Every structure is written in C-alpha cells, then in structure tokens.
A = this chain, B = another copy of it.
Amino acid sequence: MTEAPLLPRNEDGIETAIGVLRQRFGERLHTGASVREQHGHTTTWIENQLPDAVVFPQSTDEVADVVRICAAHKVPVIAFGTGTSLEGHVNAPGGGISVDLSQMGKVLAVHAQDLDCVVQPGVTRADLNTHLRDQGLFFPIDPGANASLGGMAATRASGTNAVRYGTMKDNVLALEAVMADGRVIRTAQRARKSSAGYDLTRLLIGSEGTLGIITEITLRLQGIPEAISSARCSFPSVDAACRAVMMTIQYGVPVARIELLDEQSVRAANAYSKLSLPETPLLLLEFHGSEASVLEQAETFRTIADEFGGTGFAATTSTEERNQLWQARHDMYWATLQLRPGARGISTDVCVPISRLAECVTAAQDKAAELGLMAPIVGHVGDGNFHSLVLVDMDSETETANARQFVSWLNDLAISMDGTCTGEHGIGQGKRPYLVKELGAATDYMAAIKQALDPDNILNPGKILPG
C-alpha cells in the first residue's frame, strides 16, 4: 500500500454531525466498518481511508441537508458514486461523511427530439444505455467500468469512444449541484450551446466533488448509428501501430474507437478471453455511420495500416464478433492481472500530443524493462492517451520502489512532452504532486476558486490541490 497523507480530524464536529444525521436519516446512515471500508479507496495501492459514516440520500433536498449539517459542524463531505476511481478520490483523509448517491438512480427525462436526457447522479452508464435503447439513442462515454454518471461527470471521465464523441466535458449540457453552503444551483439550461456567463458546468466537471456535489445531470445523447463495424489489425511494433493511428486521425477518419494493446496485453487477452490473436501490438477499431460510410472508413484505415506493416486486418459488422472483441478490451484489467497471479495492478494514466505517442509508449516499455517491471500498456490512442498497468509484488520493497519510480518517471515524461499527467483518471490524492508540475501557477488560481466556493474546505478535502 501507498500511504495517503492524513488531514486533521474535527472529532467533535464529526460526532455531532453523525448524531444529527442519524436523527434525519435513520437507517440510511451507516457507521459499520465494512460499509465504511467499501466507501474508502479500494481499487489501487493507495491505502483505504475510511469515512466515519455513510449516508444514502434519495433526493437533492436530502443531499442539501447532509451538506448543510456538515457545513454547520465543519465536517468533510465526500460524494461517492460507484467507487471505481483509481487515484484515491473517495478516501476520507480527515474522516467525515461519505454521501453514497446510488439511491438517486432515476432517469428523470428523455427528450428524444432534442437528443438529451436528465438523470440523477446514481444512474450508471449501462443502466442509461439500457433505458435508451428502445428509442434508438445512446450515451457514448464509456470509461470501461460501469461507473455512475455523477461520478463520471465529477471526474471528467472519457474512455474508448472519446476520440469521436469527446469526454464528459463535451457531453454534459447542464448540472444541478449542491454547493458547500448547502444551496442548490443549476449551471445551465437545456440549449445546445450558450454564452451566458462563466461556464460553471465545465468548472464542476472534473472538480472531483471538491466544489459541489452533482445531483442532476443533463446529458447530450447520440442516435444509435445505422451501421457499426469493428476491425482489428496487428503491427510489427508499437511504433508502427502508433504511426498508423496518427495518420488515421490526421486523415480525418471519424473512428469511434481506436485502441492499442501492446504485445504483453495481447498475450493477456489471448489467455483470459480465449482468443488467438498474433502476439504483436494490436489496434482495435470501431466505425460508426451509414452502411456506406463504415465500409469506406474501414477501407481507408486498411490502406493506412498497410503502409505501416499492418497484418491480419479483419473487419466485421457482426454484433457477436464485435462484442467479443470489445468484451476482451473491457476485461483487460482482469486479463492483465492474470499475467502475474498475486501481484497488485497499479494503473497509471498519461496523455500526450499524438505526434509524441509512439515515442512515449516505446520509452515507457523500455523504462519498465530497465526497472525489471511487468507493465503492459493499453491505450485510447486516438487521443494520445494510454495506461500502463504495473504488476507489483507488494511484498517486495525493491519492486514497489521501482514501480513508484516508474509511475513518477512516466508522469514527468508526459508533462515534458506537453502532455498531461492524467488523460482521464483524474488527480484525486495520487496525482497531486504532478498537477503542480504540470500547471504551475495556475494551481494557485484553482486554490483561490476552491477557497471562494468552499471556504471551510468541507467538500472532499485533500483531493486535487496540493497541501
């Protein structure tokens, strides 16, 4: 485990707030150790820091009540979606109250004519898409995990489809949020665009629960494409695969997904998902459009792939084959862990300008080898975003030290390439030192905004900003 810094605890305040919350929420307030543990960080090597209690509100008014009670006693309030974040976002370094939004799980409205919908924060991505299917609509952002849409908004999530459809910042029209003083605001109306005042929608997206708690989300939707096809193609090297990606993007092919698996990841996928892919770097693609357009896109890609030594190109419009391929992609986390049973997987996330992608991925592979680490790479490479999943024997001090060095080195490398220390995982606790390296003085103004909107620092303290 990696220790996460602690914050001073306001013991009296916490005790009082829990008393008041118990009166207000009765059995929807939990203080048992196992519930509290589940609401701390559980996914990576960052240690679990338990909240003192977990409350399950069922409405915006109830969230506002929680915040007002905690504000009155200066007690931390930590919004909780599904707990799939990777950088300690939901930890409680100073204790406090976890606000589990899973009981706010209603799709409140679908405006099919406007291609938008309004959901509560606990609705998950998969739930929403099931709900929308009959109307020929879908919500494109897919971070892999079946995360809640509130959590996805709060962390500016993206994933495989972002190359075509953008990230959460591009797909949220408006938010309702409870602010640190317990007041409820709406950040925008339902118009497709607006130039009315400061963009509080985008300010809250990616703020990781530190500026407000999102209680309602108005999302842009897409029509389910007339045709979807997928393709795969193997490459002689990561460099060749990345160059093919670069040209595909430059050529303006509107790929919906373009994912890289390096050779180790392909090996993991073969073993776990019972596939027989050639164990060299692989690109997986998906094309959305009309019947004619998806054929044309696949053909353009195949021509590009040929130039870079691509082999085994195979495209399909079969839903079954496509699902098999993407299921394998989504299972990569578990597949990779199986490469080294007993090891812990430490996922790190960087994003660089696409012209630097080949160089960055290759350097990461070389560095891992140099440090004796097994660190397979998968990436949303159309955006220049990739993850390295370092497989660490946590009992080996040398190995954990080397893994730490690798993560730090990779983040620094991405920043030095005019890239970012996090394409999509967010800052949480784990990436705070890199945020300052990346954005310098800008973080002072972030701190000023935090101070202005949450002067007592009760909303998810100890996240994003250093110190």
Contacts and interface: CB of A to CB of B under 8 A. Distances in A.
Contacts of A384: 191-192
A450 B246 CA distance: 40
B199 A205 contact: yes
B446 A449 contact: no
Interface residues of A, number: 94
A316 B14 CA distance: 69
Contact of A440 (B116, B186, B422, B431): B186
Count copies of this chain in the complex. Answer: 2
B195 A355 contact: no
Nearest to A465: B197
Interface of A: 111-116, 155-158, 162, 166-167, 169-170, 179, 183-200, 202-203, 205-207, 211, 222-223, 225-226, 246, 249-252, 289-290, 292-293, 296, 351-355, 383-385, 414-415, 418-427, 431, 434-435, 438-446, 448-453, 464-465
B192 A199 contact: no
28 contacts: A113-B250, A113-B353, A114-B353, A155-B195, A169-B199, A185-B439, A185-B440, A185-B445, A186-B439, A186-B440, A187-B442, A188-B439, A189-B438, A191-B385, A192-B354, A192-B383, A192-B384, A194-B420, A197-B442, A198-B207, A199-B199, A199-B202, A199-B203, A199-B205, A289-B293, A292-B296, A448-B452, A448-B453
A412 B466 CA distance: 43
A421 B193 CA distance: 11
B191 A351 contact: yes
A351 B418 CA distance: 36
B197 A446 contact: yes
Given A111-B355, A191-B423, A197-B435, 17 more contacts: A169-B202, A170-B170, A185-B439, A186-B439, A186-B440, A188-B439, A191-B353, A193-B420, A195-B424, A196-B420, A196-B421, A196-B439, A197-B442, A198-B207, A198-B449, A199-B206, A292-B293
